[in-house]
């Protein structure tokens, strides 16, 4: 049941992102919200679809560290491009 709720959350966040783009929203606040959405979606994919929720702490830190690194690099690329 949890996987279905997580899937629904992922779909809702994706549709919200699509809607924001279609509506023509822009700006730094939107970028921050989209990066937060990316991080939330990444966490749930890692925890529930990759089934790493109950594995050893080191594996979770390693994979979430990768997610944090990628998120920071995306933010850095946006910030440098401003």
Residue-wise pLDDT for 24-74, tens only, equals 999 889 999 999 999 999 999 999 999 999 999 999 999 999 999 999 999
What is the DSSP-derived secondary structure letter of residue 60?
H
Dihedral over Cα of 18, 24, 25, 31: its sign:
positive
What pLDDT does 37 receive?
A: 95
- Residue 22 pLDDT more than 90? yes
Instruction: Name the residue with tokens 């023509």.
Output: 24
- Segments making up each domain of the chain, as ranges: 2-81
Predicted TM-score (pTM) of this structure:
0.87
Q: Give pLDDT, residue 8.
A: 97
Instruction: Assign 64 to helix, strand or coil.
Output: helix
The string over 15-48, giving b where at least 16 C-beta atoms fall within 10 Å of a residue's C-beta and e elsewhere, is eebeeeeeeeeeeeeeeeebeebbbebbebebbb
Backbone angles phi, psi at 24, to 5 degrees: 85, 15
- pLDDT value at position 82? 83
pLDDT score recorded for residue 55: 96
């Amino acid at each position: 049941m949890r996987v279905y709720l997580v899937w629904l959350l992922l779909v809702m966040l994706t549709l919200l992102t699509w809607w924001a783009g279609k509506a023509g929203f822009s700006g730094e606040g939107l970028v921050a919200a989209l990066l937060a959405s990316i991080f939330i979606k990444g966490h749930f994919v890692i925890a529930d679809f990759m089934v790493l929720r109950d594995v050893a702490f080191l594996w979770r830190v390693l994979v979430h560290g990768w997610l944090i690194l990628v998120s920071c690099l995306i933010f850095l690329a946006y910030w440098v491009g401003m």
